[in-house]
Structure 1
């Protein structure tokens, strides 16, 4: 099923095109957006509403649209964060596209780390610390922690 963002990728969200280039997915920007969406939705779906909003406010502008896409804030987290593996959760959420977008657990980890490194590059030290505070414990290992983080 094609989303509005995918259907009007170049016209509505030129920032997403730039973002896929920044994340080195320029060969297949639609795939890059699917990967980014799956990771962001998997994260969002683990969070309490207040924590999700706090993280939303920290995201770079083009990621905000993907984070809130099709978000039903009435839904509670479906998996307790301490009870699952983030890589497995993402691959499950990707469904049939996991074979293409997240071929192996190592590919999935690389994509997650790449996305979080990109996010952190856009944040200052206080924002990185805030991001760390709101992320579930199973997601924190994917942060590219700078030497000043603590």
Structure 2
């Protein structure tokens, strides 16, 4: 073990910071905590909307720390939410910002999806998108 710690842990933190930096860049933010809150909330709302098998396949492509965030608090025995409208999805993500709402919550969700799409294979993103209703699917960047 190096003096700095285990390489896999260091790499995991580095990867998560890249994702957060990209969220901040997409939105012109300078607050990493806020970017974390957006990414975490988006991942959780997405997780709770898609089926178990798709969740597992999607999560397998996430960096270790981001995968942990994705699975945090997950109850796989609970049925998926039945959100069909983009507005409901966005409102669920925005609930994490109850004390400091986003000026444009839809743009925030789109930015989080754009960053996810940069790091997860196009095929997996297409699988996730195809499991979503058209309104929510439209929040993802074009293939």
Both structures adopt the same fold (TM-score exceeding 0.5)? yes
CA offsets per residue over residues 20-69 of structure 1, 9 Å max, x none? 11222672212211111111111111222223223223445543221111
2:19 paired with 1:19: yes
State the superposition RMSD in angstroms.
2.8
Task: Specify the alignment match of 1:39 in structure 2.
Answer: 42
Q: Give the structure 1 partner of residue 124 of structure 2.
A: 127
- TM-score, normalised on structure 1? 0.69
Aligned counterparts of 1:109 and 1:122: Cα–Cα separation in 2: 21
Query: Which of 81, 84, 87 does residue 83 from structure 2 map onto?
Result: 81
The Cα of 1:15 is off from its aligned counterpart by 2.6
Distance in 2 of aligned mates of 1:125 and 1:110: 21
After TM superposition, the structure 1 = structure 2 runs for residues 73-112 of structure 1, keeping only pairs within 5 Å, are 73-77=76-80, 79-82=81-84, 85-92=88-95, 94=96, 97-100=97-100, 102-104=101-103, 107-112=104-109
Kept after mapping to 2: 8 A contact 1:117/1:143? yes
Corresponding position: 1:57 with 2:60: yes
Q: Which has the higher contact order (CA 8 A, sep 6+)?
A: 2
Q: Check whether the contact 1:16–1:33 (CA below 8 A) recurs between aligned residues.
A: no
Q: Please, which runs of 5 or more residues in structure 2 have no aligned partner?
A: 1-9
Task: Report the secondary structure of 1:127's partner residue.
Answer: helix
State how far apart, in whole Å, the 2-side matches of 1:137 and 1:59 are: 24
